[in-house]
Chains A and B, each alone.
Chain A
Amino acid sequence: MKRVLFATLLGGSALAALPALAQDAACNGKPVTLRILRTPGNYPYPAPMEAWQKEHPCVSFEINEVPFAQLGDTISVQAASDDPPDILVYDGPNTQSYAKAGILLPLTKYLPEGWDDDILPATKAEHSYEGEVYSPGIEQTTVAMYYNKALTDAAGIEPPQTLDAAWTWPEALEAFKACQQGEPGAPEVWGLGPTRFGNGQPGLVYQDLIYQRSNGDPEADPESSAWKTFWAMAPDGSTVEGYLDTPEAIEALTFYRSLFNEEGVAPKAGIPNAFFDGKACFYIDTPAAGNALLKDPVIDWGITPIPYFKTPVVHTGSTTIGVTARSKHPEIAAQFAVDMEWGEYAYMNVSQRGNLPTLKSLFPRFPAYQDYPMKVFTDQLEQWGQPRPPSPYFSQYDRIVTDAIRSVAFGGDPEEAMADAEREVARAMRR
């Protein structure tokens, strides 16, 4: 009996050791472990990682995951430690903040030939700081307006399906009112459903700063309030003074406030799955909602471009991969990060999640985005896409302006809220 037990233990140990032996046999150099910090369900995905490992047999990975809501806090703490992760999967608009703080390694010299021509301009702008690229970008998202076809048909509404026919916000408001069922402010079916981001409350820069930006004009005189309204921050990221509380911004925000108050067509608090449960006629979301509906069409749906006042605009951005400046293996980590965001590896990563790629050359490989309804996203991204105001102070700007827009949605004075926001951002920039 003892012999049987001993043989079993010996055999088990040998079997358990096989993978390690196989890796050692293939690896002719020094083994390296790359530590990755990412959010659950995010890239880099196992398939491209395993494929890459076949070309780099000495590299293994150690993955740590934190929920997206805690990602910024975790990076703040870990990046400054003596032994930070090698690879960070972080929220793209924070690139300049992290670059300025010296957390990220510049990746310009590792970029493949042709990257400059292939990358979406909005992605490049968002991921660059002082002439260096800190992340090649892997996927892009933007928002469009979904609609429940059964409800819009019942209300006799035909939402536009192409960018050239896009509604203005006043036209969209008429559609919200016509489609909404029940008492304004507490209907059974809302005209415009709540966001799924954060706690469901309105005001997020990603989704709601576009109201005021679209009331500006990027072609106007750079000294004009219309020009400043569109950019919402000096393009060099140096100031917000005169960019947030312009007459055009206040006008747009006054309209925005009416959606949640006087008109009562949009809720101030989150309602989980409101759109998918038929509790909202219209709903603003990323391609994620469309991909879910393509797989499981719980409702009859369509997509209409984001409405605008004077200039159509949508925000771009997503999570992305970067390398920490203090990585103990910067060369191989940079190689891995760049490879994951280029060519076949990029395709493998993006196709797993279903968002849009950042490389124009990959667009034809995503057939869902070639036709209506998902084509609206591709068209918006290429024609209307703008990064959220790039700045080393983006995380502070994002929080302050979100709070200000939210206070307007809750009934606050737009002028007062935006003046306060300008002052608070200026305070953050002082440091």
Chain B
Amino acid sequence: MTAIDAQGTVAAARARRTPRQKRDARVAYVFLAPFLFLLLLFQYVPLAMMAKNAFMDYSLLNPDAAKFVGLLNFSDMLYFDDARESLAATFLFALGVVAIVIPLGFALALFLDSKLPARGIVRTIIMLPVVTSAVVVATMWNFLLDPSNGLINGVVTAMGLPRQPFLTSPDQALVMIAIMTAWQQVGFAAILFLGGLQGVPKELAEAARIDGATKAQVLWNITIPLLSRTTLFVVVIMTVFSLQAFAPAFLMTDGGPRDSTNLIVYHIYKTAFVMQNAGYASALSVLLLVIVLGISLLQMWLLRARWNY
């Protein structure tokens, strides 16, 4: 079919729309309008303002004194180390969270999908952290990881090992907040995987088993490939969650020690509200937006589904 033919077909279809269809379309637009208006007002207008502010030098204390500085905020990202260090910490954090959450979430989903006992209790246990406030989780882990009175250090010393400065060592702090975040999010991933598992047609596995495939072969050659759409969704969601993480840095480490947990969203907050450099914070936000979009597109391309069912 040529392009002209296609356009002609679409135009003909529009012309053939009945009065009822036209009225329904108008009603649909009326219902959608408030949401679209709010979306525009609270999402796209602030985004446009942020993009504009990225080229300005201004402080929240005195926005009237804002002045256009061209690409200075972006060149500062290259000249100073803070953006590079913060992004590196954020990527490592995201990588850690995704690397823990995906296999663990999948394993938990397999368990929940089985007929083993105590599935209900396990489902509740793994979902509890997901619905618990990030502030509560961070405070609880602060106590657990306390260098002198923490439960985890108590176990470590009971095993004859030296106490660990979990949140005060630049080598350990990022790992610990990644583990904490993974612990909180793994239940969500497991529920998503469980939904995917329950959507996989049982006949395929049964046919493979009749043909002599082992359980491991079925899992590797049928279940995992058929779950690629769910996996893609979980990976994208977890990556975006991790790139936007704020609470662990804000509540547990204050971005330290030595900026090792200075996650990018926390860095943006500090830059705008503490350092009073809202222009640079806007430029960092634009960069983060581009990175998140880029990573999501890349992940969607790499993990695109090659099978349909």
Range of interface residues on A (Cβ < 8 Å)? 35 or more
Which B residues lie within 8 Å of A186 (CB)?
Answer: 147-148, 153, 157, 163
Choose one: A101, A198, A267, A428; the contact of B277 (CB below 8 Å).
A428
| Bound complex: CA A72 to CA B82 (Å) | 22
Knowing A185-B163, A186-B163, A395-B276, the reply to whether A403 touches B169 (Cβ < 8 A) is no
Mark contacts of B147-190 with chain A using CB atoms, 8 A cut-off: 1 yes-contact digit, 0 otherwise.
11100010001000001010111100000000000000000000
Q: Is the CB of A407 within 8 A of B147?
A: no
Q: Is the CB of A431 within 8 A of B277?
A: yes
A102 at interface by CB-CB < 8 Å: yes
Question: A146: shortest Cβ distance to chain B, in Å?
Answer: 20
**Could you tell me which residues of chain B, from 179 to 206, have a CB within 8 Å of some CB in chain A?**
none
Q: Is the CB of B256 within 8 A of A406?
A: yes
A64 at interface by CB-CB < 8 Å: no
Choose one: A72, A80, A268; the contact of B273 (CB below 8 Å).
A72
A351 at interface by CB-CB < 8 Å: no
Q: Is the CB of A403 within 8 A of B255?
A: yes
Knowing A101-B62, A103-B62, A399-B275, the reply to whether A271 touches B258 (Cβ < 8 A) is no
B140 at interface by CB-CB < 8 Å: no
Q: Across the two chains, which residue of chain A brings its CB closest to B82?
A: A424
Question: A69: shortest Cβ distance to chain B, in Å?
Answer: 10
Q: Is the CB of B275 within 8 A of A428?
A: yes
| Bound complex: CA A98 to CA B65 (Å) | 14
Which of B53-61, B100-108, B111-119, B210-218 forms contacts with chain A?
A: B53-61
Q: Is the CB of A79 within 8 A of B61?
A: yes
A76 at interface by CB-CB < 8 Å: yes
Q: Is the CB of A410 within 8 A of B270?
A: no
Knowing A267-B148, A268-B147, the reply to whether A76 touches B60 (Cβ < 8 A) is yes
The A-B contact count (CB < 8 A) is: 93
Question: B154: shortest Cβ distance to chain A, in Å?
Answer: 10
Knowing A410-B169, A410-B256, the reply to whether A103 touches B275 (Cβ < 8 A) is no
A254 at interface by CB-CB < 8 Å: no
Knowing A186-B147, A395-B274, A428-B275, the reply to whether A80 touches B168 (Cβ < 8 A) is no
Q: Across the two chains, which residue of chain B brings its CB closest to A427?
A: B80
Which A residues lie within 8 Å of B62 (CB)?
Answer: 80, 101-103
Range of interface residues on B (Cβ < 8 Å)? 35 or more
Question: B148: shortest Cβ distance to chain A, in Å?
Answer: 5
A97 at interface by CB-CB < 8 Å: yes
Q: Is the CB of A73 within 8 A of B273?
A: yes
Knowing A396-B275, A396-B276, A412-B257, the reply to whether A269 touches B147 (Cβ < 8 A) is yes
| Bound complex: CA A395 to CA B273 (Å) | 10
A199 at interface by CB-CB < 8 Å: yes
Which A residues lie within 8 Å of B61 (CB)?
Answer: 75-76, 79-80, 97-98, 101, 103
Which A residues lie within 8 Å of B82 (CB)?
Answer: 424
Of B60, B147, B168, B277, which is in contact with the most chain A CB atoms at under 10 Å from its CB? B168
Choose one: A185, A267, A395, A403; the contact of B259 (CB below 8 Å).
A403
Q: Across the two chains, which residue of chain A brings its CB closest to B167?
A: A269
Q: Across the two chains, which residue of chain B brings its CB closest to A186?
A: B148
**What are 25 inter-chain pairs, A to B, with CB distance below 8 A?**
A75-B61, A76-B276, A77-B60, A79-B61, A80-B60, A80-B61, A101-B59, A101-B61, A102-B62, A102-B64, A102-B65, A186-B147, A186-B153, A201-B256, A269-B146, A269-B167, A395-B276, A403-B259, A406-B256, A407-B258, A410-B165, A410-B168, A411-B169, A412-B170, A412-B258
- Measured CB to CB, the residues of B under 8 A from A are 57, 59-65, 76, 80, 82, 146-149, 153, 157, 163, 165, 167-170, 251, 254-259, 270, 273-277
- Measured CB to CB, the residues of A under 8 A from B are 72-73, 75-77, 79-80, 97-98, 101-103, 185-187, 198-199, 201, 267-269, 271, 395-396, 399, 403, 406-407, 410-412, 417, 424, 427-428, 431
